[in-house]
Amino acid sequence: MLQNAADRETFLKDLDPGKLAEIRRRYGLEGKFVASYIGTLGMAHRALKDQVRRAAVSSMSNMAEGFERGSLAEFNRFLLISKGSCAELRTQLYIAYDVGYLEKQSFESLMTQAIEVGNIIGGLRAALEGRK
């Protein structure tokens, strides 16, 4: 089980196309579209770009929705979902970098921003916990 970002990064580095092909054969997934973590089994550049956009929009949308629900408990719950979308975005950035869709400088800049947003959401959640 992947426990944290470091585990995911190790997983991404270790998962090569040969291993993916073996997994597909073992579980009868040959000939079916399977979105792999490193983009080698049919994940197109456009599809990954769309996932990145959805994760970023989802993060902002969940914050707004939670706030509008009118209770601290609901806002906190939706902030947790928003933070999860930030984690999804960071994972997608790793994927985009690993498959060569992002240059190192762009990756580092975007990752720094994604981490910062996640930290801000985490700080807001901590502040809300203090108000309970």
pLDDT digits (tens, 9 = 90+) for 56-84: 888 889 989 999 998 899 999 999 999 99
On the CB side of 8, CA atoms within 13 Å amount to 15
Q: Please state, in angstroms and rounded to a whole number, the distance separating the CA atoms of residues 70 and 68.
A: 5
Question: Shortest CA distance to 101 belongs to which of 55, 51, 57?
Answer: 51
pLDDT tens for residues 111-131? 999 999 999 999 999 988 877
Mean pLDDT of 20-40: 49
- DSSP helix/strand/coil, 17: helix
**Model confidence, pTM:** 0.64
Q: Residue 96 above 90 pLDDT?
A: no
Non-local CB neighbours of 101 within 8 Å, separated by 6+ positions: 39, 45, 48, 49
Non-local CB neighbours of 26 within 8 Å, separated by 6+ positions: none
Q: Domain extents for the chain?
A: 1-42, 44-132
Q: Residue 39 above 50 pLDDT?
A: no
- DSSP helix/strand/coil, 42: coil
% of the chain with per-residue pLDDT over 70: 65
pLDDT band at 51 (very low <50, low <70, confident <90, very high): confident
Domain 44-132 sits in CATH at: 1.20.1440.60
User: In the 8-state DSSP scheme, what is residue 102?
Assistant: S
Task: Supply the pLDDT for residue 40.
Answer: 44
Average pLDDT, the chain: 75
Cβ 62 vs Cβ 85: under 8 Å: yes
Exposed (0-12), middle (13-18) or buried (19+): which is 100, by Cβ within 10 Å? exposed
